[in-house]
């Protein structure tokens, strides 16, 4: 056999192996071990599944469209159930919301300014399975090709367990081609959809995009069919850094401009956020809208962690 043919066959084998390995995580992603992503929460109301991220013991970051029902009406804050501390959706510790704030100029069903902060009726007890996330600083920018982690409870199969997948930041040109109607390079990023990468599924809205250990995006637009062939659009957290801190502080979180928690948690040592070095693989609101629950006595309960 000639050297040229040998080289061709060897190259073909490498391509086939690469394709098989790359497609191992398309769609379902890989299951997350308890405590691995301690800031991830699941949000439920009237059959709606959304993801979210714990910013402090009393504040959750999610997508603004998760606050709306199927008819485009705002939900009551007390209808929002937030679960943390478990890798199974709607398990672990549960809290209800007392109020929420939607970002200025949010456009429902368009993805623009699609971010909201939820205030809880009672704080979560922080520990090894429940911890706040660190958000990207104002001005932080990750280049196209940067590998990040997408996580969520969105379902492609019958599983209800938390999954994660590695995705790469895409260029603005690609993002605009995917979401030409509402793409805004100033407030959005997109990632995933390359050969062999997984992607968001229905139910992942509001969930995190973690780059270099910090929250860089939350899911706002993706694929319900979970084919993994189209990039997911995210709200760019770095662009909302100051708004998040100011709004969270109005809730009583006492987090300063350096994204540091001012509370004394009795010496508890927070575990560093995961980084790629140790991981596998309709309406306009022209001002911030805050909804206060009419039920000032909203109750909360704790369920056993899975």
Interatomic CA distance for residues 291 and 51, integer angstroms: 20
Spatial contact of 113 and 150, defined as CB atoms under 8 Å apart = no
Instruction: State the SS3 of the chain.
Output: CCHHHHHHHHHHHHHHHHHHHHHHHCCCCEECCCCCCCCEEEEEECCEEEEEEEEECCEEEECHHHHECCCCCECCHHHCEEEECCCECCCCEEEEEEEEEECCCCECCCCCCCCEEEEECCCCCCCCCCCCCCECCCCCCCCCCCEEEEEECCCCCCCCECEEEEEEECCHHHHHHHCCCCCCCCCEEEECCCCCCCCCCCCCCCCEEEECCEEEEEEEECCCCCCCCCCEEEEEHHHHHHHHHHHHHHCCCCECCCCCECCCCCCCCCCCCCCHHHCCCCCECCCCEEEECCCCCCCCEECCCC
Which tokens in the block code for residue 282? 């309709």
Q: So which residues are the catalytic ones?
A: 65, 114, 205
């Amino acid at each position: 056999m000639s050297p040229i043919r040998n080289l061709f066959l060897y190259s073909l084998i490498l391509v086939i192996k690469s394709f098989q390995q790359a497609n191992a995580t398309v769609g379902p992603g890989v299951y997350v071990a308890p405590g691995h992503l301690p800031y991830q929460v699941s949000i439920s109301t009237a059959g709606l599944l959304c993801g979210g991220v714990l910013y402090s013991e009393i504040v959750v970051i999610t997508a603004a469209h998760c606050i709306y029902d199927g008819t485009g009406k705002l939900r009551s804050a007390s209808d929002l159930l937030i679960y943390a501390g478990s890798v199974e959706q709607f398990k672990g510790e549960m809290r209800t919301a007392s109020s929420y704030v939607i970002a200025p100029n949010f456009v429902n069903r368009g993805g623009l300014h699609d971010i909201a902060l939820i205030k809880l009726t009672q704080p979560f007890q922080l520990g090894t399975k429940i911890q706040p996330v660190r958000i990207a600083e104002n001005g932080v920018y990750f280049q196209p090709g940067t590998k990040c982690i997408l996580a969520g409870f969105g379902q492609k199969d019958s599983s209800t367990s938390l999954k994660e997948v590695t995705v790469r930041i895409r260029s603005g040109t690609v993002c605009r081609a995917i979401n030409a109607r509402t793409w805004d390079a100033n407030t959005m990023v997109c990632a995933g959809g390359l050969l062999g990468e997984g992607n968001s599924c229905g139910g992942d809205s509001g969930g995190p995009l973690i780059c270099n250990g910090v929250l860089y995006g939350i899911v706002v637009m993706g694929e319900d069919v979970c084919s993994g062939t189209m990039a997911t659009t995210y709200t760019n957290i770095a662009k909302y850094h100051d708004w998040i801190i100011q709004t969270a502080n109005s809730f009583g979180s006492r987090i300063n401009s350096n994204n540091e928690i001012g509370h004394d948690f009795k010496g508890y040592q927070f575990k560093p956020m995961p980084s790629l070095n140790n991981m596998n693989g309709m309406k306009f609101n022209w001002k911030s809208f805050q909804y206060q629950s009419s039920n000032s006595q909203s109750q909360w309960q704790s369920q056993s962690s899975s």
